Structure 1
Amino acid sequence: MRWVDARVGQAINIRQRPPTFSFFPTFQGATREGVHSTLFATEPWNIVQHILEKLSDANARRQALAFLVQSRDFFTAAQNSDVSAAKPLLLYYSFLNLAKCLCVKRKGTALGMVQHGLSEKLPTTPGAIHGSVSIDILKSPATSAFVMFANVLGANLPQPAATKTHVEIRSQDFLAQVLIGHRIYCQADNIKERFISLDRIEYMQDVGTQEAWLRVRAYADDFTRLGYGLTDLSKHLGAAGVWRNVNCSVVIDGRRIIEAETVATIRYGHRPSQVLSQISIDARPRLWRSVTAYPPYRKYYLYVPSAAQVLLNQLLTIYLATFYFGSITRYKPEQFDQILKSPIGPFVFEFFSNQPTQFLYLMASEFMEQEVAKAAIT
């Protein structure tokens, strides 16, 4: 996509401060929108419990709290388990129960029968380390935990081919979409890195027309060092025509900055804060993030997929990878041992060392609809 001049405007300020980009930037106050601050917690489980205790439906509340107890116990047990033993399986059941909690919370009613909605398959080729996961999309969506989880996240799922009810995704495709340990995985699988760090995401406005939009910037050399084109910034932030590359002359410490902005704007009435949440929702599907211990407590990334890859929501990708390794651990432990000894073994260890806590904080943010980060207390 060609470069064009940026839309004339300025960064949004609310009460003399620019709001930090977030999936959950605002909340509805008594008379107007308020801007969220980051919520700090050393035990995000307690935050989730507090939210679930507010459910008005008694059956839903009891069920959700029971799911939460199981999730927390599985999580705690996993921390004391070895990766080569039960950790993957314990974490999967922790994530499954936490996902069910979120489903109950968003629906407001208790769940009926729930199935995994997933099945794992390893190749029969001797020495092969990559398999696939089959996702039940259409056969039993009302009982599939994975489909229900996707629905409450507002995440799109791939549609099966004609006459099919399932979609099969190769493990190398969804494992490559796991942010934590991505570079280790790429080196092991001999593929090019696909995550590119974003330097800044800003809410912009034109005060005269009362229009708001999003602008993103990144370092040009992060694209060129991996062999990606600079126009890939807009290309992979959304569907065709949603973003455009804009001219930028900024250089920081000798490094060129490139920028992109949304093509469409959103009109607001009295205040730009009225539309911040909608702007974030529109941008969310193509952004990955990590929880950090320093301001602004979230780091955002762009993913550059291969032509054949099916992109999944970040939380769904973590969930799918945990199911995959957990299922192999349960039914084919000897094959999981082979995976740990394979070139991607270091990635698997990294995944189970750091990803669980990331998932927990990202999920706590979903329950709160506010960013939750680890309290930096020593």
Structure 2
Amino acid sequence: MTELEKELGEQVRRDYKAVKYFPFGNNSGAPFILTSDPFSYLQAWLDSKINGIKKDRGKKRKLYIKAKYFAELGEGFHISSKQARMPAKGTMIYYSLINLVKAYLLVNGYDLETKTEHHGLSLPSNKKLNLKLANINDSGVSIFHEFSKVIGVEIKNVDGNEIKLDEILRELPEVHEIGYALDLFPNTKRKFLPIELIIRTNSTRKRIYYTLAYEKKFDKIMKTDKLTKGIFKNKLEPIECKSDSSKKYYKSKLVFNYTNNSDTSHKMAYKKICADIKDLRITPMITRNGYRNYLNLEPSRMHRLSATLAFAYYIGTVARYRPTLNQEILKGKYQSIIQEAVNSCPNQFFYLMTSYITNQICAIPMAKIE
């Protein structure tokens, strides 16, 4: 045991594997599913679900069959997008994302095709950088609204029925740094704080909690004082760590008893820990070396994946209906950040959505070579 572990507690383990936080509804200590093709894995997983249901009294099998259809459709648009150039590429990306979203809704019990479905967003002809949220009523299904609800951050029209492109882009961690390098978000500070999040236990392995840490250098470029306010203040308390002076540490106020050698206790403890962490709006980013976590210091009204879907809708709609605006956007100040988002956001979306749909941790194999 290291000095840091003696001071803060050791990392919780299950079957000799470190127990880490993920927002996917996975089990405690679940293994990584390494796949270089999340679409193929998702379709194989859906096949296993379809074949495992013999008597479909609850129509679950029917929903899985539809989900597989949309997953295959999403893959088809993704393949087409890789062969296309902007602006056509933007349209293909949007259709690949929204079809994966439909698969996610179906797996979560939404029986699509029963009502008129609409995107839930529009780009008014008199607007250039503002998307409009569709009105919600019982006559149709807004895919964007229902997705935001199920993914955990419901977007409501009462907060304003327009979403600015700047708001969308600032909610994408993949392009966060380039946005600030290009001075696209004036009068704001960077908000995605790289953190180390560890689920820990005390020396007797009878109590469970979590700690959050970040490097002190970020105090100068981010509003880290927010960690002492609002939701952060309610859930975290600062602690002194003598064995590591380069970071600032926080401990969860949630601490409860558990039985280390009990499967039932582990599952219950992990579920409670994940529920507590979820409200902090921690954003996972997948890399070839595993997942990295970022704390959103100024979360907007959108989940990060909702923002990705809104971005794809914007570039796809501009491509289809607004040739003059397309020229302005692709040649103007947003050119570099849009190109970066087009290159990096879809793959993140595919892996994360596959993890959410399957309740497993999908990751990129280190052996994958681009």
* TM-score with structure 1 setting the length: 0.82
8 Å contact from structure 1 (residues 288, 302) kept in 2:
yes
Counterpart pick for 1:216 among 212, 221, 246: 212
Q: Deviations over 1:51-100 (max 9, x none)?
A: 322144343233222212221111111111112x2111111111111100
Measure the CA separation in 2 of the matches of 1:20 and 1:361: 18
**1:167 is aligned to 2:165:** no
Q: Is the 8 A contact 1:219 1:258 kept in 2?
A: yes
Please give the root-mean-square deviation of Cα atoms over the aligned residues, in Å: 2.8
Preserved CA contact (<8 Å) 1:137 1:160? no
1:145 paired to 2:139: no
Aligned equivalent of 2:319: 329
Cα pair distance change 1:144/1:25, threshold 3 Å: closer
Q: Which moved more, 1:68-77 or 1:56-65?
A: 56-65
Could you tell me how far apart the structure 1 residues matched to 2:274 and 2:31 are? Answer: 15
CA contact (8 A) 1:23 1:280 kept: yes
Which residue pairs with 1:127 in the alignment? none
SS in 2 for 1:218: strand
Structure 2 SS opposite 1:160:
helix
> In the alignment, which residue of structure 2 is the partner of 1:245?
238
Report the counterpart of residue 43 of structure 2 in structure 1: 49
Judged with a 3 Å threshold, the aligned counterparts in structure 2 of structure 1 residues 249 and 158 are, in CA distance, closer, same or farther, namely farther
Change (3 A) 1:123 1:247: farther
Q: 1 CA distance for matches of 2:64 and 2:16?
A: 40
Cα 1:123/1:178, change in 2 over 3 Å: farther
Name the residue aligned to 2:190. Answer: 193
Q: 1:65 maps to what in 2?
A: 68
Contact map agreement 2:20 2:29 (CA 8 A) in 1: no
Quote the residue 2:306 is aligned against. 316
Q: Number of residue pairs matched?
A: 345
User: Larger deviation: 148-157 or 358-367?
Assistant: 148-157
Change (3 A) 1:94 1:25: closer
- Paired residue secondary structure (2:67): helix
Distance apart, 1:24 and its partner CA: 4.2
1:1-378 to structure 2, matched below 5 A, reads 9-24=9-24, 26-27=26-27, 35-53=29-47, 54-55=49-50, 56=53, 57-83=60-86, 85-107=87-109, 109-113=111-115, 114-121=117-124, 131-136=129-134, 138-140=136-138, 143-158=141-156, 160=158, 167-188=161-182, 189-191=184-186, 192-198=189-195, 200-206=196-202, 210-224=206-220, 226-229=221-224, 231-233=225-227, 235=229, 238=231, 240-251=233-244, 256-268=246-258, 270=262, 271-285=265-279, 286-294=281-289, 297-305=290-298, 310-377=300-367, 378=369
- Asked if structure 2 preserves the Cα contact closer than 8 Å seen for 1:92 and 1:323, the reply is yes
Query: What is the CA-CA distance between 1:282 and the residue it aligns to?
Result: 2.8
Distance of aligned partners of 1:213 and 1:261 in 2 relative to their CA distance in 1, 3 Å threshold: same
Shift of 1:227: 5.0
**TM superposition shift of 1:228:** 2.8
After TM superposition, give the deviation of residue 316 of structure 1 in Å.
Answer: 0.9
The Cα shift of 1:110 comes to 4.8
Q: Deviations over 1:185-214 (max 9, x none)?
A: 12321533222211x211123476944222
- Structure 1 residues without counterparts, runs of 5 or longer: 1-6, 28-33, 125-129
Pair 1:183–1:331, CA change in 2 (3 A): same
Instruction: Tell me if the contact between 1:137 and 1:147 (Cα under 8 Å) persists in the aligned partners.
Output: no
| Structure 1 equivalent of residue 4 of structure 2 | none
* Whole-Å separation in 2 of the counterparts to 1:289 and 1:186: 20
For residues 8 and 284 of structure 2, what CA distance do their matches in structure 1 show?
28
- Report how far residue 105 of structure 1 moved: 0.9
| Mapped partners of 1:169, 1:239: distance in 2 | 26
Tell me the CA shift for residue 134 of structure 1. 2.2
Q: Deviations over 1:297-337 (max 9, x none)?
A: 111112232xxx73321111111111122111111022122
d(CA) in 2 for partners of 1:205 and 1:290?
25
Provide the rounded CA distance (Å) in 2 between the counterparts of 1:259 and 1:242: 13
Q: Is the 8 A contact 1:120 1:132 kept in 2?
A: yes
Superimposed CA distance per residue, residues 93-142 of structure 1 (whole angstroms, 9 cap, x where no aligned partner): 11111100011112174542321111124765xxxxx6222223633596
Aligned with 2:118: secondary structure? coil
- Separation in 2, partners of 1:140, 1:239: 37
Alpha-carbon distance change, 65 to 227 in structure 1, aligned in 2, over 3 angstroms? closer
Query: Which residue of the partner structure matches residue 56 of structure 2?
Result: none
Tell me the secondary structure at the aligned position of residue 107 of structure 1: coil
Structure with the bigger percentage of helix: 2
CA 1:171 to 1:138, structure 2 compared with 1: closer, same or farther past 3 Å?
same
- Is the Cα contact below 8 Å between 1:205 and 1:213 reproduced in 2? yes
- 1:290 is displaced (CA, Å) by 1.2
Conserved 8 A contact 1:52-1:105: no
Long gaps (5+) in structure 2: 1-6, 54-59
CA–CA distance in structure 2, aligned partners of residues 183 and 342 of structure 1: 18
The answer on whether the counterparts of 1:117 and 1:147 sit within 8 Å (CA) in structure 2 is yes
